[in-house]
Amino acid sequence: MDEINSSMIRHAQQVAEEIGANAVLLYVDLIQSRDNLETLLRESHCILAARDRNVLDELETLDGECDRIIKVPYMKLNRHSQVKVAAMIALSKGLIRRNDRVVCLSGSPEYGILDNLAVLDLEREFELLSSGSLDIAGQMAQPVVFERLLTIVLELAVEGKEGKPLGTVFVLGDHEKVLSMSSQMVINPFVAVPEEERNILDPALKETLREFSSIDGAFVIRDDGVVLAAGRHLAPSVETSELPQGLGARHRSAAGITALTNAIAVVISESTGDVRIFSRGKLYMEIEKAQ
């Protein structure tokens, strides 16, 4: 397996050089032998993505290169979703830019093999980036907050609640306008909770979000990660003809609120477990759960 992985890395570097790619993004926890990673980071613009906490701890020992190591959610995703999630996080951390071309290596965690090489043109893959309509790393939220929200959402999508799938909406950023254009469907369970106890950066809050996900309506989150409300009815109704067929009311409301505010909305589909991100009234990214 090490021979296959070494060959894939060499070919990825060769492809990157031939096409003028800006970076190589590598799922490093699929590699058994990580002896040459420091050299790889030093000699090329390589970004290492890892899911395993032990691997991350090991990578932190690499001298002066930790800024190009990203943590991705520990869960089973298909290969294309692996690439999209890692690229999204790298973008939010400023490791790649919206007009970059990136060579990505991913594969099967079960077998520890890098078996998928993909070239990602960010402007083409993430269409809204070309118009600058989604600035995750800038105005809408602190990058660490967006990363944490994405991790929570993907974990909830996979794990569900009490063995059953769940569906909900998280709206992040531009909270004053979002609150003014929405209404409370039930008593807000967060209204009397101190801010330091309702920030998504606190790992303990994930279970609270899971419990309240059964409440109809959306979660509203401030750009610093503080959860302001749950059970919020998103009132805006806008033309959503550009949305893919088959998306229901939850997705239409997410598109609607982002069309009229500078927020982004992240939706878990109860029927499929897929995660969709909306901005400016349009579907920005779809992350499919592995079957």
Q: Is the pLDDT of residue 142 over 50?
A: yes
Q: Check residue 167 and give its pLDDT.
A: 94
CATH number listed for the domain at residues 143-287: 3.40.1700.10
Q: Check residue 238 and give its pLDDT.
A: 60
pLDDT band at 240 (very low <50, low <70, confident <90, very high): low
Domain ranges of the chain: 2-125, 143-287
Q: Is the pLDDT of residue 277 over 70?
A: yes
Q: Is the pLDDT of residue 190 over 60?
A: yes
Confirm whether 2-125 and 143-287 share one CATH topology: no
CATH of the structural domain 2-125, one choice from 3.30.559.10, 3.20.20.70, 3.40.1380.20, 3.40.640.10: 3.40.1380.20
Q: Is the pLDDT of residue 1 over 60?
A: no
The whole-model pTM stands at 0.82
Q: Is the pLDDT of residue 37 over 90?
A: no
Q: Check residue 291 and give its pLDDT.
A: 57
For the CA atoms of the chain, what is the radius of gyration?
19
**pLDDT tens-digit series, residues 60-117:** 766 555 568 888 887 777 788 888 888 888 887 888 888 899 999 988 777 778 889 9
- For the sheet with 264-268, list strands across it: 182-184, 227-234, 218-221, 168-172, 264-268, 275-279, 282-287
